[in-house]
Amino acid sequence: MKIDLFTLMEKNTGWSRELLYQLLESVKDYAIFVADLDGQIVSWNIGAEKIFGYTGKEAIGRNCAFLFTAEDRARNEPEKEREIARAEGCAEDERWHVRKDGSLFFASGLQTPLYNREGNHTGYAKIARDLTERVQLQTELKETKDNLEVRVVERTNELKDSNELLRTEVRERKESEQLRVELLRKIVRTQEDERKRISREIHDHIGQQMTALQLKLKLFKDKYEADSAIKDEIEQLQLITQQIDSDVDFLAWELRPSVLDDLGLSAALKNFVEDWSGHFKIPAEFENLGLDGKHLLPEIEINLYRIGQEALNNVCKHANANNVSVLLEKRDGNIILIIEDNGVGFEPKAKAKVAGDDRGLGLVGMKERAELIKGKFEVESAPDSGTAIFVCVPAIFNEQTD
């Protein structure tokens, strides 16, 4: 004998048929169905019809195992789920299910046992929600991020190869240092242009998608404001979305900070030190003396910024420090940049001789950037004594006043 969902729920909950009908009919984005002790479906709401594709007439009377994939049926997952629900009071799962048209979708489900007023176990109720869009979005975001990282790595490797070819060519032809520096400037400009382009793509493409997702989640939250369970689930999705959005913003910021072009070196370094400190949980302080509101030549600003960025990245990777300070100062017609940490330190000369060591390559890159802007670069460090990096370059401003 088929049992109507409202009759069964009315007996088990004591709620009125009208109240139950309003509840189930208002939930169209959630599949809600009831099965007997053997898993035979006895009631099927409109949300289940929408998500699984089967009408109530097609679903009622069949064992709910037909909604599972062949692999899950082979592992007896439907029976295991009912056993867990009976033993623990509920069974939560996230798995792939099968629609009527044979397509797969990813769903989050909750199954609970039903008892009548006498305490007899009468069946099971299950609520399921389609999470396919979220899973696809996460997959697309990961693929996009992975592709961007691959492109950055490939581009960086190409630039490293170009730089090495440049070194060989200059050495073989005994050309002047001025030629090497000029060609290196072009490489750095190309690299910065590429960083700016990729950063803009991240901000415009992924940023817009994340904004749209957040707005959609807010609409769903407002729609189900009265339902605390659904509201809590939506708030969890909002937190996940905010974290992904934050990670994407930090990636774009590392590639190319717009504040460098808008407000200058001091503001850009201050923001990067604060964001870097918050992201890697390493206390860091920034101090600026004499450069507020003043713009240096763009070539000077971007190279000093990249030196500071590389120095802090080295601290994160190698120093094991718990305190970092960054000083940017205008002194006697020069710009001084000092980055100090209290980490494990190292022997600079020995490190520079280790082939392929990324810290050694980082020091070489920082030294070359300082030379591009006619500056001096020094490193002071020793094992267990921390590290200090000093850069001194001529102070040349965009405006004629200093």
Tabulate helix, strand, coil % of the chain (nearest 5). 60, 20, 20
Structure tokens at 10: 């009315």
**Domain end (from 224, 240, 256):** 256
Q: Please check whether residues 269 and 402 belong to one and the same domain.
A: yes
**Domain end (from 256, 274, 308):** 256
> 326 and 287 in contact (C-beta within 8 Å)?
yes
Q: Domain of 61?
A: 5-130
Cα distance between residue 216 and residue 397, in whole Å: 47
Residue for token digits 């949980």? 281
> 340 and 324 in contact (C-beta within 8 Å)?
yes
**Domain end (from 88, 114, 130):** 130
Q: Please check whether residues 93 and 155 belong to one and the same domain.
A: no
Q: Please check whether residues 99 and 155 belong to one and the same domain.
A: no
Per-residue pLDDT of the chain (402 residues; tens, 9 = 90+): 334 444 555 555 554 545 555 555 666 788 889 999 999 999 888 889 999 999 989 999 999 999 999 999 999 999 999 999 999 988 999 999 999 999 999 998 999 898 887 888 989 989 898 888 888 887 788 888 888 888 877 887 887 877 788 777 766 666 666 665 566 666 666 666 666 666 666 666 676 777 777 787 778 777 777 777 787 887 788 788 777 777 776 666 666 666 777 788 888 899 889 988 988 899 999 999 988 777 888 888 888 988 998 899 899 888 899 999 999 999 888 999 999 999 999 888 765 544 445 566 688 888 988 888 889 999 999 998 899 999 999 988 876 444
* Distances, alpha carbon 331 to alpha carbons 186, 291, 313, in Å: 29, 10, 26
Q: Please check whether residues 161 and 219 belong to one and the same domain.
A: yes
Cα distance between residue 391 and residue 133, in whole Å: 50
pLDDT > 70 in the chain, percent: 77
Q: Please check whether residues 45 and 27 belong to one and the same domain.
A: yes
> 23 and 33 in contact (C-beta within 8 Å)?
no
What confidence tens digit (pLDDT) does each residue in 298-319 have? Answer: 888 888 988 998 899 899 888 8
* Distances, alpha carbon 322 to alpha carbons 277, 340, 343, in Å: 10, 11, 7
